[in-house]
Chain A
Amino acid sequence: MEALRPTTADDLAGIITAAAAGGRHLALRGGGSKAAIGAAEADATIVGMTGFSGVIDYDPAELVLTVGAGTPLAEVQALVAGEQQMLAFDPFDHGPIFGAPAGAATIGGVVAAGVAGSRRVSAGGARDHLLGFAGVSGRGERFVAGAKVVKNVTGYDLPKLVCGSWGRLVAMTELTLKVLPRPREAVTLVFRGRSLGEALAIITTAMRSQASVAAAAHLPGHSGDAHAITAVRLEGFGPSITARLAMLDALFGDTARGEAASDDEAAALWNDLRTLAPLDDGRPLWRISLPASGCPAVLATLLPAGGRYLLDWAGGLLWLTFDGPGEAVRDVAASVGGHAMLVRADPSIRAAIPAFHPQPKALAALEARVRRAFDPAGVFETGRFEAFSHAD
């Protein structure tokens, strides 16, 4: 597998046009932090996107940032933090999940993979913060979509479509993101030693309240409920947090209320939800997106096999290790209205089990038509994910 590293959009367009004409495949690569997701890309040429790096425009007062897609995520986060702002969808680096150091992930990569952290439940995902992009489609044509202002409904919302498209529609060269003020303060309430059922009840009560919960998670511990931590994070201005803590205390009462975690403990537990270090048990790692109410059924089915889990997004995201058959995960996820992605596993398993949860036939056919609309020659179909399956 050779590697190319274009530095201009015209060069990139030339590479894609040539590949399309020659029936070859291209694998778009940012920092490679998620390269171990999906099947092996047998005969694809890697196109490194890190040549499209750097800040193009940043006006903090407009809440808008335009950067090259290959800019390191860490650099973008440091830049906006310097202006007391943030990427509110909380993107994180997948490096540590695969045993690599953080730092390689690019902003284009996290957007293309739709990566969103614990604040997803309150602030939205990458889809809710990508305002526009410039790039080259599988047709080898340069084009733009969206815009560089925070409010826009002109034409189809293609930025939403490319978030989570995993580089199968467009090679993005430039992204415009909405940025938001960083919360001035944050407090994490922890509830110790709760069972899954109790944790979900706490989270539901907090989410239903007027306390504007920023993030809520459950870390069950590996040695029984006694070590479990249920975490609820509040963010904002000091007087507001004080009022909302009182609100939650009143809701939970004297016996059930949580305690404010130390800064170190809070940082460690939210970090665990990014690195997934507690799940490093050698088993395949699954990411299940589901309604919170489906968690007990999914865990009752899959945990007896001996895996571990973490629950984020107020119960809407379950990270789970499981070394039984993939169908077992997908069947139970689907039975509660969820879907399961295989994230980390040996290459042989990844060759046999598709990374993405298969779609119903009609939807898969529609999705295939949309992919063909951007990439008629299948330039970006590298075998990493299922090809135009079930297509009409």
Chain B
Amino acid sequence: MSLKMPEPDQSVLARRASIVRALRAIVPGEGVIDDPDALRPYESDGLTAYRQPPMVVVLPETTDQVARILAWCHREGVKVVPRGSGTSLSGGALPLADGVLLGLAKLNRVLEIDYDARIAVVQPGVTNLAVTRAVEDEGFYYAPDPSSQIACSIGGNVAENSGGVHCLKYGLTTNNVLGVELVTIEGEIMRIGGRTLDSAGLDLLGVIVGSEGLLGVVTEVIVRILPTPETARAALIGFATVQDAGRCVADVIAAGIIPAGMEMMDRLAIHAAEAFVNVGYPLDVEALLIVELDGPGAECGHLLGEVERIALDNGAVSIRLSRDEQERIAFWAGRRAAFPAVGRISPDYYCMDGTIPRRRLPEVLDRMAQLSIDHGLGVANVFHAGDGNLHPLILYDANKPGELDRAEAFGNDILRLCVEVGGVLTGEHGVGVEKRDLMPVMFTETDLAHQQRVKCAFDPKLLLNPGKVFPTLHRCAELGRMHVHRGAVPFPDLPRF
């Protein structure tokens, strides 16, 4: 593991007992955890390659407690790492040895549902799926559906701007949130956005969503809920080449169709999934597309016919159209199980998350195959084909010396490739610690400084989730007067990690 985190502040570590006492005065009883064994479950999130037990965990139950914790930590100069359900795949909730881990799981109530206004007001610890469960009896749902939706929290979704298979049509979290209650590191409680479609001033909500816990702690979220579509149907389409599948995707969109979901799997992923769930995926194809359409039955029937025609025009070698809900779910079963299925054919896998312009897909897959040979590790690909979001799964064995390092090096090469062809480092998992040191591949020092100054506007002492997102920890006073020319790095003596 090559990750370098900010050096723990020994003076803070020396005060651990008094910090625990102060937190207990704010959150009584079981809400403060300092026993080393009890801290263990919090030592990592979904990116399990990195582990670090926090100094102490605090689990507030009210916004007021959150505000008092943050105000106290701000005054005392203690770092804070917010955490929802801990499902981040980029290490966004990786603790710090000298930091308070602020868990929001106990803020887990649905506060209000207004069907006429089509909104729900929820606390951050409510799981993504629980929002839909709370409104489905009235014929509504919450659209963003990250694959971890049974566990991941809305607060975490806001932090990471989570997506899901339906985001081509329905957007990411940021497009489905109207407002938040935010507690700043100073302990100030403020409302950003609200129940209107725009705000009176700057769109601060837009920059808070996806800020990975660096700008403030969200204690309430107003989400938009949508009427559940009347029906959903899917097509399962096999192609002899990735190029054919890619052209089919482009032609579907050119025909004016924005499917609810459009997923692609490569040969290795197809075989792994079929071996796992046995739903009848064709095994003699190089690429498999799942195209889902939702809406009135008449619309789904009409568009499914269009998709079938487009698929045949692009040389599809097998096509199945779902006839009922059971069959539609079966089509998805393999895709939904793709990660654990790959987990069965390899002791470990490392899930990547770049986005590319779709037209570059064949070339990217070819070069990824070469990288696979170079690094001596296999790779399976699942792909949100509609929006170009690629999830290569790198196969490795953590018990073999050096394989984790090789997997990470392979992953970094894939992300560099994504940026090189005009794409990005992360489409939906976030930067966290995982892609932090690759940020300069996509952004110049000046680009990053403009982002970091926003951080300084919210958190000038850099106490909230430091060590995430930005590769270099600039002190705010220095950023304020920094000038960078031609990539020259200012302040070479500042700590870099």
A-side interface residues toward B, CB under 8 Å?
59-64, 84, 114, 116, 120-121, 124-125, 127-128, 137, 139, 141-145, 147-161, 163-165, 169, 180-184, 204, 207-210, 212, 236-240, 242-244, 247, 289-293, 313, 316-317, 337-339, 341, 356-360, 362-364, 366-367, 369-374, 376
B161 closest partner in A (C-beta): A153
Q: Are B200 and A153 closer than 8 Å at their CB atoms?
A: no
Q: Interface digits, B295-319 against A, CB 8 Å rule (1 contact, 0 not)? A: 1111101110000000000000000
Is residue B257 contacting chain A, with contact meaning CB distance below 8 A?
yes
Q: Are A371 and B451 closer than 8 Å at their CB atoms?
A: no
Interface size bracket, B side? 35 or more
Residues of B within 8 A of A142 (CB): 446
In angstroms, Cα B328 to Cα A112, docked, is 43
Q: Are A161 and B457 closer than 8 Å at their CB atoms?
A: no
In angstroms, Cα B302 to Cα A238, docked, is 9
Q: Are A124 and B171 closer than 8 Å at their CB atoms?
A: yes
Q: Are B198 and A114 closer than 8 Å at their CB atoms?
A: yes
In the assembled complex, how far is the CB of residue B356 from the closest CB belonging to chain A, in whole angstroms? 7
Contact of A147 among B160, B190, B424 (CB under 8 A): B424
Contact of B167 among A151, A212, A337 (CB under 8 A): A151
Is residue B238 contacting chain A, with contact meaning CB distance below 8 A?
no
A372-B457, A376-B480 known; 4 new pairs, CB 8 Å cut-off, are A127-B203, A127-B206, A150-B168, A370-B202
Is residue B389 contacting chain A, with contact meaning CB distance below 8 A?
yes
A-B contact count (CB 8 A): 261
In angstroms, Cα B448 to Cα A150, docked, is 21
Contact of A128 among B171, B435, B455 (CB under 8 A): B171
A207 closest partner in B (C-beta): B118
B428 closest partner in A (C-beta): A153
In angstroms, Cα B453 to Cα A62, docked, is 32
Residues of A within 8 A of B297 (CB): 243
Q: Are B443 and A151 closer than 8 Å at their CB atoms?
A: no
Is residue B50 contacting chain A, with contact meaning CB distance below 8 A?
no
Residues of A within 8 A of B196 (CB): 289-291, 316, 337-339
Q: Are A210 and B296 closer than 8 Å at their CB atoms?
A: yes
Q: Are B211 and A240 closer than 8 Å at their CB atoms?
A: no
A357 closest partner in B (C-beta): B200
Residues of A within 8 A of B167 (CB): 151
Contact of B447 among A63, A127, A144, A151 (CB under 8 A): A144
Residues of A within 8 A of B388 (CB): 62, 149-151
Residues of A within 8 A of B389 (CB): 151
In angstroms, Cα B229 to Cα A151, docked, is 23
Q: Interface digits, B315-355 against A, CB 8 Å rule (1 contact, 0 not)? A: 00000000000000000000000000000000000000001
Contact of A373 among B197, B209, B301, B457 (CB under 8 A): B457
Q: Are A148 and B203 closer than 8 Å at their CB atoms?
A: no
Contact of A149 among B171, B210, B357 (CB under 8 A): B357
Q: Are A161 and B454 closer than 8 Å at their CB atoms?
A: yes
Is residue B199 contacting chain A, with contact meaning CB distance below 8 A?
yes
In angstroms, Cα B480 to Cα A151, docked, is 31
In the assembled complex, how far is the CB of residue B390 from the closest CB belonging to chain A, in whole angstroms? 10
A60-B254, A120-B197 given as contacts; is B427 within 8 A of A236 (CB)? Answer: no
Is residue B184 contacting chain A, with contact meaning CB distance below 8 A?
yes
Is residue B230 contacting chain A, with contact meaning CB distance below 8 A?
yes
Q: Are B447 and A180 closer than 8 Å at their CB atoms?
A: no
Q: Are A181 and B258 closer than 8 Å at their CB atoms?
A: yes
Q: Interface digits, B415-459 against A, CB 8 Å rule (1 contact, 0 not)? A: 000000011111111110001000100111011111101111110
Residues of B within 8 A of A357 (CB): 200
Is residue B175 contacting chain A, with contact meaning CB distance below 8 A?
yes
Q: Interface digits, B450-482 against A, CB 8 Å rule (1 contact, 0 not)? A: 110111111000000000010000000000100
Q: Are A151 and B357 closer than 8 Å at their CB atoms?
A: no
Q: Are A145 and B451 closer than 8 Å at their CB atoms?
A: yes
Residues of B within 8 A of A63 (CB): 253
A153, A163, A180, A209 interface centre (most CB from chain B within 10 Å): A153
Identify which of residues 254-272 in chain B touch chain A, using a CB-to-CB cut-off of 8 Å: 254-258
A–B pairs, 10, beta carbons within 8 Å? A61-B254, A145-B451, A149-B357, A155-B442, A155-B448, A157-B211, A181-B253, A181-B255, A289-B200, A290-B196
In the assembled complex, how far is the CB of residue A353 from the closest CB belonging to chain B, in whole angstroms? 14
In the assembled complex, how far is the CB of residue B157 from the closest CB belonging to chain A, in whole angstroms? 11
In angstroms, Cα B481 to Cα A141, docked, is 12
Contact of A366 among B256, B301, B455, B457 (CB under 8 A): B457
In angstroms, Cα B167 to Cα A303, docked, is 41
Residues of A within 8 A of B301 (CB): 239
Contact of B426 among A141, A152, A376 (CB under 8 A): A152
Is residue B163 contacting chain A, with contact meaning CB distance below 8 A?
yes
Residues of A within 8 A of B446 (CB): 141-143
Residues of B within 8 A of A145 (CB): 447, 450-451
B415 closest partner in A (C-beta): A154
Is residue B387 contacting chain A, with contact meaning CB distance below 8 A?
yes
In angstroms, Cα B444 to Cα A150, docked, is 21
What is the predominant secondary structure among interface residues of chain A facing chain B? mixed
Q: Are A156 and B211 closer than 8 Å at their CB atoms?
A: yes
Is residue B21 contacting chain A, with contact meaning CB distance below 8 A?
no
A144-B447, A239-B298 given as contacts; is B197 within 8 A of A125 (CB)? Answer: yes
Identify which of residues 347-380 in chain B touch chain A, using a CB-to-CB cut-off of 8 Å: 355-359
In the assembled complex, how far is the CB of residue B385 from the closest CB belonging to chain A, in whole angstroms? 11
In angstroms, Cα B299 to Cα A180, docked, is 18
Is residue B172 contacting chain A, with contact meaning CB distance below 8 A?
yes
Q: Are B207 and A158 closer than 8 Å at their CB atoms?
A: yes
Q: Are B198 and A154 closer than 8 Å at their CB atoms?
A: no
In the assembled complex, how far is the CB of residue B179 from the closest CB belonging to chain A, in whole angstroms? 10
In angstroms, Cα B255 to Cα A341, docked, is 40
B353 closest partner in A (C-beta): A153
A386 closest partner in B (C-beta): B201
Contact of A367 among B195, B202, B359 (CB under 8 A): B202
Is residue B174 contacting chain A, with contact meaning CB distance below 8 A?
yes
Contact of A157 among B207, B253, B469 (CB under 8 A): B207
Q: Are B184 and A156 closer than 8 Å at their CB atoms?
A: no
A158-B454, A210-B227 given as contacts; is B197 within 8 A of A313 (CB)? Answer: yes
Is residue B398 contacting chain A, with contact meaning CB distance below 8 A?
no
In the assembled complex, how far is the CB of residue B189 from the closest CB belonging to chain A, in whole angstroms? 9
Q: What 6 A-B pairs come out closest when comparing CB atoms?
A: A160-B206, A240-B299, A181-B256, A373-B453, A369-B457, A339-B200
In angstroms, Cα B254 to Cα A144, docked, is 29
Identify which of residues 195-244 in chain B touch chain A, using a CB-to-CB cut-off of 8 Å: 195-207, 209-211, 227-230
A156-B207, A208-B115 given as contacts; is B356 within 8 A of A247 (CB)? Answer: no
Is residue B83 contacting chain A, with contact meaning CB distance below 8 A?
no
In the assembled complex, how far is the CB of residue A112 from the closest CB belonging to chain B, in whole angstroms? 12
Q: Are A181 and B424 closer than 8 Å at their CB atoms?
A: no
B443 closest partner in A (C-beta): A155
In the assembled complex, how far is the CB of residue B461 from the closest CB belonging to chain A, in whole angstroms? 13
In the assembled complex, how far is the CB of residue A176 from the closest CB belonging to chain B, in whole angstroms? 11
B188, B198, B255 interface centre (most CB from chain A within 10 Å): B198
A114-B203, A149-B388, A150-B388 given as contacts; is B209 within 8 A of A158 (CB)? Answer: no
Residues of A within 8 A of B384 (CB): 151
Residues of B within 8 A of A141 (CB): 446, 449-450, 483-484
Is residue B38 contacting chain A, with contact meaning CB distance below 8 A?
no
Q: Are B210 and A317 closer than 8 Å at their CB atoms?
A: no
Q: Are B447 and A143 closer than 8 Å at their CB atoms?
A: yes
In angstroms, Cα B254 to Cα A366, docked, is 43
Residues of B within 8 A of A359 (CB): 200-201
Contact of B423 among A60, A149, A163, A240 (CB under 8 A): A149
Is residue B117 contacting chain A, with contact meaning CB distance below 8 A?
yes
In the assembled complex, how far is the CB of residue A334 from the closest CB belonging to chain B, in whole angstroms? 9
Residues of B within 8 A of A139 (CB): 483
A151-B163, A153-B429, A239-B302 given as contacts; is B204 within 8 A of A161 (CB)? Answer: yes
